[in-house]
Structure 1
């Protein structure tokens, strides 16, 4: 089997670009806090990282939109959302234009980084979702915050996760909670990156992860996403998980529309 050394080298060094931008973004966030007199923000590492991630994301967002639109299945996945939808981590609201409003009853967007709020609210208005989209500023594991918005076990038709499970603190526990929130017959729609099966690439992912994770919104390069998602509970169609893995890819993706059994299991 060819080793594709040039491709590997190019891929293995790619994370330096986002990491470098991340360092710059945290610095810019700190400068903004000083210029606005928000000195207490400088004492909180999490606040600095949140501000930095927002700046990082905004700078790169046009690239993300083009990539998602032209080279991924994300638009087709989002179109399959129906009924009452929980959108995890809407960020700048890139997915709001992709929902089929004729199929949606209500969308609850749960976003943990408050810096994204103005962007999400702008997208809600632009896409005329004011009457169906509720924005919750909380962690997706904040059960109390979700309950206040009517998100309780067996209340959701769809959960949408576009590169969010990579950043939660306990992905197995989070997935089990999300599974419980789905109605029987409900859908978990996801597009996530994961740990590469190639041993050399996996080693490089683990090398980059300590630098990558704090600067890129808590994102982990090293999670076994398929195992995490499928172990949340019983699914009617576990074979529906697809992927595009290359042996040297630092961000191989997996995606699918998993359906919770209609009867007999919860």
Structure 2
């Protein structure tokens, strides 16, 4: 546990928290201008509008850890499930020579135009399809051919923190992944403790509202391990992180048992 990583994480975390509060008035105005003034009194709708506005401003910087992101996504092969691609800041990391089909699971339809533009710019138009629903909507997924054992790779980059019913959803992802399939992970997770853990616990009282359901204190690593049997389990804190930071990550891959 390093003092520097703790301080750095607290600094950047406070920036995101401040930005989340500062964007609320603009999110409310966006709902009013779209002819939905009463939506500002709906907690979930205001939260979604706030995150949509915020992500357009800070999404790229927050996804800008090119080294880790590229290391994670570039391993994808075959039929790929790309979870929560947002506005597409990371889609250019896919290696087209190794992928035959990519399904971008993005329930937030406000992100779709920017996501499609990013897909086109990355030269993935012919293999990347946006699916405007969540993993829990199995009936819609089946219409795209996404069902048990149908996917070679699942990519989860900073998205499992905000999915509803995480244990059940990750268990469903395990079923969708083919035997021997690859689960690629870059996720922020619950801190191990210390100053960062204390700050994380306090911030998490408002963070999910400001960030459209993002839960800083989620035990994502445990949920993945518990989803089923894995032949390979290699999830670690990236270099420079101890796990005690305010915002800390795990990164790596798992291979589903054959």
TM-score (norm 2): 0.91
Map 1:105-144 onto structure 2 (within 5 A). Answer: 105-144=100-139
The corresponding residue for 2:220 is 225
Relative contact order (C-alpha < 8 Å, sep 6+): which is higher? Answer: 2
Tell me the distance in 2 between the aligned counterparts of 1:249 and 1:74.
Answer: 19
Three-state SS of the structure 2 residue aligned to 1:169 is coil
Structure 1 residue 59: Cα displacement? 0.8
Kindly tell me: are residues 82 and 20 of structure 1, through their superposed partners in 2, closer, same or farther at Cα, counting changes over 3 Å?
Answer: same
Three-state SS of the structure 2 residue aligned to 1:193 is strand
Structure 1 residue 88: Cα displacement? 0.5
Map 1:177-188 onto structure 2 (within 5 A). Answer: 177-188=172-183
> Is 1:50 the counterpart of 2:48 in the alignment?
yes
TM-score (norm 1): 0.88
Residue deviations 1:70-108, cap 9 Å, x none? xx4210211110111011000011221111111111111
Tell me the distance in 1 between the aligned counterparts of 2:11 and 2:68.
Answer: 26
Kindly tell me: are residues 199 and 24 of structure 1, through their superposed partners in 2, closer, same or farther at Cα, counting changes over 3 Å?
Answer: closer
* Residues 12, 248 of structure 1: 8 Å contact kept: no
CA RMSD of aligned residues (A): 2.1
Three-state SS of the structure 2 residue aligned to 1:94 is coil
Kindly tell me: are residues 208 and 13 of structure 1, through their superposed partners in 2, closer, same or farther at Cα, counting changes over 3 Å?
Answer: farther
Structure 1 residue 248: Cα displacement? 4.4
Long gaps (5+) in structure 2: none
Residue deviations 1:222-251, cap 9 Å, x none? 12222111111111112x112133364111
Structure 1 residue 202: Cα displacement? 2.3
Structure 1 residue 194: Cα displacement? 1.0
The corresponding residue for 1:74 is 69
* Residues 242, 256 of structure 1: 8 Å contact kept: yes
* Residues 167, 223 of structure 2: 8 Å contact kept: yes
Alignment size in residue pairs: 256
Tell me the distance in 2 between the aligned counterparts of 1:135 and 1:173.
Answer: 23
Structure 1 residue 24: Cα displacement? 2.5
Residue deviations 1:12-40, cap 9 Å, x none? 46433212211222321221222343335
Three-state SS of the structure 1 residue aligned to 2:206 is helix
> Is 1:241 the counterpart of 2:235 in the alignment?
yes
* Residues 194, 223 of structure 1: 8 Å contact kept: yes
Map 1:1-80 onto structure 2 (within 5 A). Answer: 4=3, 8=6, 11-12=9-10, 14-66=12-64, 68-69=65-66, 72-80=67-75
The match for 1:192 among 187, 190, 214 is 187
Kindly tell me: are residues 14 and 63 of structure 1, through their superposed partners in 2, closer, same or farther at Cα, counting changes over 3 Å?
Answer: closer
